[in-house]
Homo-oligomer: A and B are copies of this chain.
């Protein structure tokens, strides 16, 4: 009953994160009813993503002529304090705090197998090589990976691998989120909050 372009749209959009068939359908009709100009603009917005490059240093996206992203080019940032994140969106969240003045290494989403993928190994080796060239030890490496059971496992694996490459290897603090309630915190979180009391 649905015309081919709508079926195709739904098929493609429902493979994207947290978009189901229903939302994809609603999106299609919303776009159609918004008219040709809106369709053009939206298609172009998708298409223009092709022009993005990956930073040769930290693997975040950029559009600069040389191979470095804005963060890695910024001489006001301390290049030898490195936060290792899984995803670009994690980097964005950390940037929003305006409290981190180092740079990043984007590792890519960790698989649930507990083994690093070859691209992730390459990126870690790339960091090691960079640190070697800079004198052998970074000031600090912050492993900013989600504090899940699975994330913890990966974090300690990475920490071990990088142990000789930084004066300090840290992870993000743990405890009750600001605005959270003790009554509703799970045991694990509350335990961590107690151990790391300030």
| A interface with B by C-beta (< 8 Å) | 1-6, 8-9, 11-13, 16-19, 22-23, 25-33, 36, 39-52, 61-63, 70-71, 87-89, 92, 95, 108
B92 engages A45 (CB within 8 Å): no
Contact with A9, one of B5, B8, B9, B46 (Cβ below 8 angstroms): B46
B residues in contact with A19, CB < 8 Å: 27
Q: Which residue of B has the minimal Cβ distance to A47?
A: B43
CA A29 to CA B91, docked complex, whole Å: 12
B residues in contact with A3, CB < 8 Å: 52, 61-63
Interface residues of chain A: helix, strand, loop or mixed (majority): helix
B1 engages A70 (CB within 8 Å): yes
Taking the closest CB of chain B, its distance from the CB of A34, in whole angstroms, is: 9
Contact with A49, one of B1, B6, B11, B50 (Cβ below 8 angstroms): B6
A4 engages B63 (CB within 8 Å): yes
How many copies of this protein are present in the complex? Answer: 2
Residue pairs across A and B with Cβ atoms less than 8 A apart, 17 shown, are A3-B62, A5-B51, A5-B52, A6-B49, A8-B45, A9-B46, A12-B42, A12-B45, A18-B26, A25-B92, A28-B49, A29-B89, A39-B50, A40-B47, A43-B43, A43-B44, A43-B46
B89 engages A13 (CB within 8 Å): no
Contact with A71, one of B1, B30, B52 (Cβ below 8 angstroms): B1
B residues in contact with A87, CB < 8 Å: 29
Contact with A16, one of B30, B36, B48, B71 (Cβ below 8 angstroms): B30
CA A19 to CA B23, docked complex, whole Å: 9
Contact with A52, one of B11, B32, B89 (Cβ below 8 angstroms): B32
CA A89 to CA B95, docked complex, whole Å: 39
